[in-house]
Chains A and B, each alone.
Chain A
């Protein structure tokens, strides 16, 4: 009798454990079902105009300032629309791309997603994951001229509402450092002049370097602009999928990086690598032992808050007889709506509020991005919330930019460049061989991309 009881108890526990396992695995399917029912509910609510409760998921990356601004904007929207609940899913940039790609593929992606415009081909090229914003209740006409076309459109469809306008590269300069080493901030430097200046700085103080950069920055803010300055075109041709630069051009671009290291204009790569992705926290920059950082206009606030000294901003170095400034201008980041969302209309209404409503603009200031609409710029300048350094940086890049294309920002191509840059810096490979390998690998990758 007792034994029988034990057996039954054990069986009961075992079965309930199995049941729990199964429930855990089955929950995805279940939410899908409820998702569908709410979808039909949502459709009727839009049609009839009543406020059935809706939950939207909104996901972005950023720093604490951006998190705070967006959370406040969400609160403001929820106060106005009590039937809408917005769940915020936010984090730093690390791992964001991977997370979004995985959720999109498993059909668990949020309704509103912050994306980089370079990711559009990866995402939208694979499948119609993102909604066509022009069919949804969000006003795209407020965006500054050509911004949507340059930064938010893929395959002729509006998929991304740019939330910022800006560009790269610009050079942030520590004004105290410049005074100490007698650096002239009125002139537009060439790459060679930067190398010389860096040499002089390091000779004066062996602890100090003119600049610093990680592999990502070297790739996007040194190599790429250099190639564009040389050829006057984006690095890859959008029609033919062929590189617009020659082996000699690439050799020169790699050699330029090497010169900057050999003249000690750049802090040794290994030292800077510890701060990859967060150069504002470089101890030498904070301690005024590094005077300049090349970066995006959007990075102004983070550099401002990292040092006590006043900052200046100047144009990026160019080569002599450059065919272009190598400066890009546009909106590199924005918001998209998940095409699989059950509440596309509600999501679009929220997006419209976020980007076009004066109240939302006042709440966010420039924490989410720099004024993608004229309205935002007018409101924020009148309010005095536009940071002068950033405004100046944006005026610099807006002066004479070139129009980049999507394929030139392809992640796989970038990885190849970043790998080769490091090999050149560590002397594993000569600039000539690196250039040769770069073109060989590009031929293969571009061939594959073209067939897709």
Chain B
């Protein structure tokens, strides 16, 4: 909040605790307990484990920074899978947002049965990252699967969707792009909030549709683009299910996302300490990227009420 924005409002005395703060604590207790046991504790323990050689089956002993040096210097798949994960995010996130925006704009028009369409387009997100959909995806994109059969009708030569390491990553991204529902709903809400006067004024000035989108719709939507971008980047960098179920990281590590690597190290190679170290590196990477996007936001995000500097 900028100083201008808060100036007009009465400033509450936030420094003093309200006298019934104990009640407040009591009310958030259910969440607090869940948070401590299910999130804070594992988070702290995984940091500790990352400095040990803990395997699932035996107690670990302290090995200092060994896991980290090994990760960065010796493990030829770690950097590879980290880069691959960024590639995946770069592919999936923009496509998903563009898709969500386009569909949101269509669904913002005055059409018959519009609520039905909105529901239908949201459906993939409900089925979402489930294992069943991933398995379905595998069957659809097989060499002799439905997609290739369909392409065959138009005489398009069949594509090796899952067998070619370079294409497999795209195939997996498609699954996530298809699940644009939650971003779409947010865009839709944003679109509803764009004041109609702006469009009317622009029309009077003789703006065409494209100019209206570029100079009114998009700037007004930037706060939502910003929110969606952050959420989707975080999700994409943690992607696991699709890469694990559809291709199990293969072929030839073409879809070996960092999430799959962490899982394999922890549960198949029984190197929980090592996997914890990887996830901490990933955590820091996600944190840095998120901060970077936040930093950049002042340059491109437009708040109607002057909310941010």
If A129-B57, A283-B144, A422-B253 touch, whether A268 touches B163 (CB-CB below 8 Å) is yes
- Interface residues in B, total, Cβ within 8 A: 33
If A21-B34, A422-B253 touch, whether A126 touches B269 (CB-CB below 8 Å) is no
Interface residues of A (CB under 8 A from B): 7, 10-11, 14-15, 17-18, 20-22, 25, 97-98, 101-102, 104-105, 122-123, 126-127, 129, 215, 268-271, 273-274, 276, 283, 411-412, 415, 419, 422-423, 425-426, 428
**CA gap between A412 and B255 in the complex, in Å:** 20
CB pair B29 A18 closer than 8 Å: yes
**CA gap between A126 and B56 in the complex, in Å:** 9
Contacts of B238 in A (CB 8 A): none
Contacts of B165 in A (CB 8 A): 270, 426
**CA gap between A422 and B251 in the complex, in Å:** 8
Does B37 have its Cβ within 8 Å of any Cβ on chain A?
Answer: yes
CB pair A21 B56 closer than 8 Å: no
If A10-B27, A25-B37 touch, whether A273 touches B57 (CB-CB below 8 Å) is no
What are 26 residue pairs bridging A and B, where the CB atoms are less than 8 Å apart in the complex? A7-B23, A11-B23, A15-B26, A18-B33, A20-B30, A21-B33, A101-B56, A101-B57, A105-B56, A122-B57, A126-B55, A126-B57, A127-B57, A127-B58, A269-B252, A270-B162, A271-B160, A273-B163, A283-B142, A283-B144, A411-B269, A415-B264, A415-B269, A419-B77, A422-B252, A426-B252
Chain A min CB distance to B7 (Å): 34
Does B124 have its Cβ within 8 Å of any Cβ on chain A?
Answer: no
CB pair B58 A270 closer than 8 Å: no
CB pair B143 A274 closer than 8 Å: yes
Closest to B251 in A: A273
Contact of A274 (CB < 8 Å), options: B56, B162, B270: B162
CB pair B253 A271 closer than 8 Å: no
Contacts of B294 in A (CB 8 A): none
Contacts of B23 in A (CB 8 A): 7, 11
Contacts of A127 in B (CB 8 A): 57-58
If A18-B33, A21-B33, A126-B57 touch, whether A273 touches B250 (CB-CB below 8 Å) is yes
CB pair A425 B143 closer than 8 Å: no
Known A-B contacts: A101-B57, A419-B77. Give 15 more (CB < 8 A).
Answer: A11-B27, A15-B29, A21-B34, A97-B267, A101-B56, A104-B56, A269-B251, A270-B251, A274-B138, A276-B250, A283-B142, A415-B269, A422-B252, A423-B252, A426-B251
Contacts of A126 in B (CB 8 A): 55, 57-58
Chain A min CB distance to B6 (Å): 31
Chain B min CB distance to A185 (Å): 28
Closest to B56 in A: A105
CB pair B29 A14 closer than 8 Å: yes
Does B217 have its Cβ within 8 Å of any Cβ on chain A?
Answer: no
